[in-house]
């Protein structure tokens, strides 16, 4: 069925089939503007006993219909289209991470170059990268073959060599993949999709290496030259093969694919898509995070370049012990202002692992969980910054300024001083009892610098809007701005370090009839109420050695937006350093908790 013209689309139905829950939303044109109007959810049914993902879709959509007073499912159990009267929708779209999402193995000649480019392409398409093979990863060929067989990926992406460059090493890597013949996770007639995105001159030799056990697709090189990365063709091929091969063999997805008016997208790929479109449309730099029970996804767009990472061992339930082990309990306790018994805390961690759906029932449990989340987010962001880099292998002229910047991240393209928008999603962030707690977790973990707008995804709507943007960008952008984001406010934080109690910066805030001036001492936090929809003009005059975006000690004036929390002035310095002595640290954190009214 051809898509209606954009102007004729008034009722949009969208679902996201998650690993445990299928979420449905209804978007309608209200007074000429697209708005999200109703939401429903139901358990995902990709596994036994139902073994049909559309059962969960129908249940979630039926709930939306009951709330909206609209019939969406006909007597045959199919979605009604087009919209007429009080039934049906004009378009139906969906994303999915059910069944574990899209799982891939990638490969390239050099781990830090072509293999890294292949990894960026796969992550950007919404995949979980299970392993990265390379000619220099120190494993023997038979060990790499065994590893592929054990992992049983849904798809393999092979890169390597610049165009006109090395042929032999690429073919050798293909010869390690070909004999692995991994069994599929779904379906018995599944042929493993392999995408070749390497040296064009090696394509013929790579094709001869594989037999009929795989479906080989050749696309443009992800790294045609050392200086240039071309990820879009590989990402598009991953999306197409995900729909054609992986999803087609998962229980019930053949019906879901037949129902939808646009290709089903992997959930993380859809989230990245809407963040990239928002950043491009508004000309801003943005970071988004989705923290789950097992993994934490971080997305970023800086100067138009999109990156995504998956921290597969950093989550708040199944992976919570990994967070504490990697961060250390000592670092977690930095954020705890209450007196807690370490043995009891270790028991809390174990209980959360074996009962992942439990939520904190006491103030102590909530404070401890949010302390762990800060470390999970901090470590995930460190991993993301290490991955989101300028291209390695490229000779670059460097200035004195570059030399100093290397101390705080080397050649990462993630620059917190240039960050305009920081968006949170995931249970511990989205469902925090107070919005100020969400804001505090974001600020403490990501350490934004200069002027940064903070927001959270209201009901995890970004996946739906990411796939909607493929067919109706205007509707996706309007709903994102009006209904998806809950703006928490703005954080103003200079870069630099100093001595506690010394002047960090002076400020002037003008908003309506308000005109307030003052000073912030190093180590202090202050919250000014600034309602959602309100704006203020803020002038910051940093002390010597502090920079808020205009240079060390230079005054800067910007207009900021309010939110459910307000305007936060952060004079704790960057990088953020907590006192090493336990009592001093607890005293400092207690002051910050009181300043933001987190738990009182």
Q: Are the beta carbons of 528 and 569 closer than 8 angstroms?
A: yes
CATH superfamily ID and name for 101-259:
Cobalamin-binding domain (3.40.50.280)
Sheet of 103-108, strands arranged across: 128-134, 103-108, 155-158, 192-196, 214-218
- CATH 3.40.50.280 positions along the chain are 101-259
Q: Is pLDDT at 160 greater than 60 in this prediction?
A: yes
Rounded Cα distance between 185 and 250, Å, is 8
Report the pLDDT value the prediction gives residue 19, as an integer from 0 to 100.
77
The b/e string for 52-73 (b: 16+ C-beta within 10 A; e otherwise) is bbbbbbbbbbbbbbeebebebb
DSSP output for 154-175? SEEEE--S-TTS--HHHHHHHH
* Element spanning 505, H or E: strand 503-511
Lowest-confidence segment of 258-267, 404-413, 491-500, 556-565 by average pLDDT: 404-413
The whole-number pLDDT of residue 188 equals 61
Spatial CA neighbour of 447 closest among 410, 415, 489, 413: 415
Query: CB of 588 within 8 A of CB of 523?
Result: yes
Quick check: 399 pLDDT over 80?
no
Residue pLDDT, tens place only, 253-265: 889 999 999 999 9
pLDDT beyond 90 at 405:
no
Buried b (16+ CB within 10 A) or exposed e, 14-27: bbbbbbeebbbbbb
Domain(s) labelled CATH 3.30.420.40 in the chain stretch across 6-98
- pLDDT tens for residues 435-471? 999 999 999 999 999 999 999 998 889 999 999 999 9
Is the predicted pLDDT of residue 397 greater than 50, yes or no?
no
Tell me the pLDDT tens digit for each residue of 194-203. Answer: 999 999 999 9
Q: What is the pLDDT, as a whole number, of residue 393?
A: 63
* Separation of alpha carbons 441 and 378, rounded Å: 10
Residue 401 clears pLDDT 50, i.e. is over it:
no
Is the pLDDT confidence value at 402 over 50? no
pLDDT per position as a tens digit, 535-568: 999 999 999 999 999 999 999 999 999 999 999 9
More confident residue, 183 or 77: 77
Q: Which CATH architecture has domain 6-98?
A: 2-Layer Sandwich (3.30)
pLDDT digits 0-9 by tens, 8-44: 999 999 999 987 789 999 999 999 999 999 999 999 8
Q: What percent of the chain has pLDDT over 90?
A: 71
Tokens standing for residue 210: 């594989």
Predicted pLDDT of residue 403: 31
Residue 583 pLDDT greater than 80, yes or no: yes
400: pLDDT confidence band, cut at 50, 70 and 90? very low
Pairing of strands 128-134, 192-196: unpaired
Instruction: Please report the pLDDT score of residue 549 as a whole number.
Output: 96
Distance, CA of 572 to CA of 497 (rounded, Å): 8
First to last CA, the chain: 56
- Helical segments of 190-266, H only: 203-209, 232-241, 253-259
The pTM for the full model equals: 0.87
Average pLDDT value over all residues in the chain: 90
Determine the distance from the C-alpha atom of residue 531 to the mean position of all C-alpha atoms in its chain, rounded to a whole number. 27
Displacement of CA 391 from its chain's centroid (Å): 22
pLDDT in tens, 282-303: 999 999 999 988 889 999 999 9
- CA atoms of 42 and 57, how far apart (whole Å): 8
Binning pLDDT at 50, 70 and 90, where does residue 226 land?
Answer: confident
Higher pLDDT residue, 343 or 522? 522
Please state the rounded mean pLDDT for residues 515-528: 96
Average pLDDT over every residue of 54-69: 96
Quick check: 25 and 93 in contact, CB under 8 A? no
Average pLDDT over residues 149-162: 92
Helix (H) or strand (E) holding 383: helix 363-387
Cβ within 8 Å of residue 409, ≥6 positions away: 385
Give the pLDDT confidence score for residue 240 in this predicted structure: 86
Cα–Cα distance, 273 to 278 (Å, whole number): 9
Phi and psi torsions of 223, nearest 5°? -135, 70
Q: How many CA atoms lie within 13 A of 487 on its CB side?
A: 23
């Amino acid at each position: 069925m051809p898509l209606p013209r954009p102007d004729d689309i008034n009722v949009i139905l969208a679902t996201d089939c998650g690993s445990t829950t299928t979420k449905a939303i209804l978007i309608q044109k209200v007074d000429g503007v697209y708005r999200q109007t109703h939401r429903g959810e139901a358990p995902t049914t990709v596994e036994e006993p139902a073994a049909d993902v559309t059962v969960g879709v129908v249940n979630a959509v039926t709930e939306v219909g009951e709330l909206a007073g609209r019939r969406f499912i006909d007597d045959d159990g199919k979605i009604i289209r087009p919209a007429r009267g009080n039934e049906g929708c004009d378009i139906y779209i969906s994303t999915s991470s059910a069944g574990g999402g899209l799982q891939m193995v990638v490969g390239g000649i050099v781990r830090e170059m072509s293999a890294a480019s292949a990894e960026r392409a796969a992550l950007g398409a919404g995949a979980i990268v299970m392993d990265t093979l390379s000619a220099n990863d120190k494993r023997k060929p038979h060990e790499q073959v065994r590893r592929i067989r054990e992992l049983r990926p849904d798809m393999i992406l092979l890169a390597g060599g610049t165009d006109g460059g090395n042929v032999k090493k690429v073919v050798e890597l293909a010869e390690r993949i070909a004999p692995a013949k991994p069994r599929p996770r779904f379906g018995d007639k599944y042929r493993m999709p392999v995408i070749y995105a390497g040296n064009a001159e090696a394509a013929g030799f790579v094709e001869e290496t594989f037999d009929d056990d795989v479906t080989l697709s050749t696309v443009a090189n992800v790294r045609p030259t050392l200086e240039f990365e071309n990820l879009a063709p590989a990402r598009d091929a991953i999306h197409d093969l995900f729909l054609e091969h992986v999803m087609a063999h998962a229980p019930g997805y053949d019906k879901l694919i037949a129902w939808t008016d646009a290709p089903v997208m992997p959930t993380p790929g859809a989230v990245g898509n809407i963040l990239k479109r928002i950043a491009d449309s508004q000309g801003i730099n943005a970071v988004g995070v989705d923290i789950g029970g097992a993994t934490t996804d971080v997305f970023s767009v800086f100067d138009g370049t999109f990156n995504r990472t998956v921290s597969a061992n950093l989550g708040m339930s199944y992976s919570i012990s990994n967070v504490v082990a990697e961060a250390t309990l000592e670092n977690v306790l930095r954020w705890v202002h209450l007196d807690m018994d370490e043995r009891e805390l270790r028991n809390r961690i174990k209980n959360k692992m074996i009962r992942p759906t439990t939520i904190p029932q006491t103030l102590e449990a909530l404070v401890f969980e949010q302390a762990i989340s800060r470390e999970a987010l901090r470590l995930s962001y460190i991993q993301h910054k290490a991955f989101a880099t300028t291209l390695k292998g490229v000779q670059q002229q460097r200035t004195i300024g570059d030399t100093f910047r290397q101390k705080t991240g080397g050649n990462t393209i993630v620059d917190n001083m240039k960050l305009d928008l920081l968006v949170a999603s995931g249970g511990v962030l989205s469902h925090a009892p107070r919005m100020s707690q969400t804001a505090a977790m974001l600020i403490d973990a990501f350490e934004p610098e200069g002027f940064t707008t903070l927001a959270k995804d209201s009901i995890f709507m970004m996946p739906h809007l990411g796939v909607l943007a493929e067919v109706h960008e205007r509707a996706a952008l309007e709903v994102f701005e009006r209904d998806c984001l809950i703006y928490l406010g703005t954080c103003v934080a200079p870069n630099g370090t100093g001595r506690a109690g010394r002047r960090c910066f002076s400020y002037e805030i003008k908003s309506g009839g308000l005109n307030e001036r003052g000073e912030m001492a190093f180590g202090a936090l202050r919250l000014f109420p600034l309602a959602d929809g309100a704006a203020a003009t803020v002038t910051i005059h940093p002390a010597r050695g502090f920079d808020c975006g205009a240079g060390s000690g230079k005054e800067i004036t910007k207009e900021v937006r309010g939110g459910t929390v307000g305007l936060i002035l952060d004079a704790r310095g960057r990088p953020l350093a907590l006192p090493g002595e336990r009592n001093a640290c607890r005293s400092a954190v207690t002051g910050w908790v009181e300043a933001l009214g987190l738990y009182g």
